[in-house]
Chains A and B, each alone.
Chain A
Amino acid sequence: MSIEEINNISFQIISYAGDGKCDCLEAVEEAKEGNFEQAEQLLAKAEESINKAHEVHTQLLVEEARNPGIQPTIMFVHASNHLAIAEWAIEDCRMKIDIYRLIKSK
């Protein structure tokens, strides 16, 4: 696998993960306003994007398992960081939305 191919995969990961992370943040903003239905829709959309990022990321791991010796690029490391942040964002934002739900129901 060439450097260009690895970087192309990295850009896809960054794009999907970044898009999903932003949906998570918007979901919390909606929950803050009491719009829980919109918040849930945004979380569902975020999950879809982050799953796509995860799938693309896994492709590369599978490729490495098949052909050991692939050299990771700096951009791939950067993309993995974006994915990790997005995966945490969805869990964190879900908790925050639950807290808003609790506050608003009082």
Chain B
Amino acid sequence: MYNIILVCEHGASTSAMVTKMRAAAEQLGEDCEINAYSYSKMDELIDSADIVLLGPQVRFKKKTFEQKYADKNVEFVLIDPVDFGTMNGEKVVKMALEHLKQ
């Protein structure tokens, strides 16, 4: 099972994305744990994460996280702003799975 973590400023708007992604994952028959948090909780989240998806509003944290958690073997991936704006959960979950199965 994959543990997919979404982060934004407060984990508010990404929570709506989580709902859409869970539904899409279920339809695809993929066993995923998907949750949203504030990026400030990253220290607590990183060890259990298989992949971290960043909302467009926290894109500026990507480089910092990649440097800070370089030894963790977790990929930080940006959510496309159009997919985020349209809440396209299916596209985002497919994108995450593609990265995870690489």
Q: Which residues of A contact B (CB under 8 A)?
A: 7-8, 10-12, 14-19, 21-22, 25-26, 49, 75, 78-79, 82
Contact = CB atoms under 8 A, between A and B. Distances in A.
Interface of B: 8-9, 12-13, 16, 55-60, 81-82, 84-87
B59 A14 contact: no
A66 B81 CA distance: 30
Given A8-B87, A11-B86, A18-B55, A78 B12 contact: yes
A17 B57 contact: yes
B85 A11 contact: yes
A68 to B, nearest CB: 27
Nearest to A28: B60
Given A18-B55, A75-B13, A75-B16, A11 B60 contact: no
B8 to A, nearest CB: 8
Contact of B16 (A7, A17, A18): A7
Contacts of A16: 81, 85
Contact of A82 (B16, B57, B60, B86): B57
A12 B88 CA distance: 12
Nearest to B83: A15
A15 B16 contact: no
Nearest to B85: A15
7 contacts: A7-B16, A11-B13, A11-B16, A15-B82, A16-B85, A22-B58, A82-B57
B59 to A, nearest CB: 4
A22 B62 CA distance: 11
A22 B54 CA distance: 12
A69 B102 CA distance: 50
A79 B86 CA distance: 14
Contacts of B13: 10-11, 14, 75, 78-79
B16 A19 contact: no
B56 to A, nearest CB: 4
B89 to A, nearest CB: 11
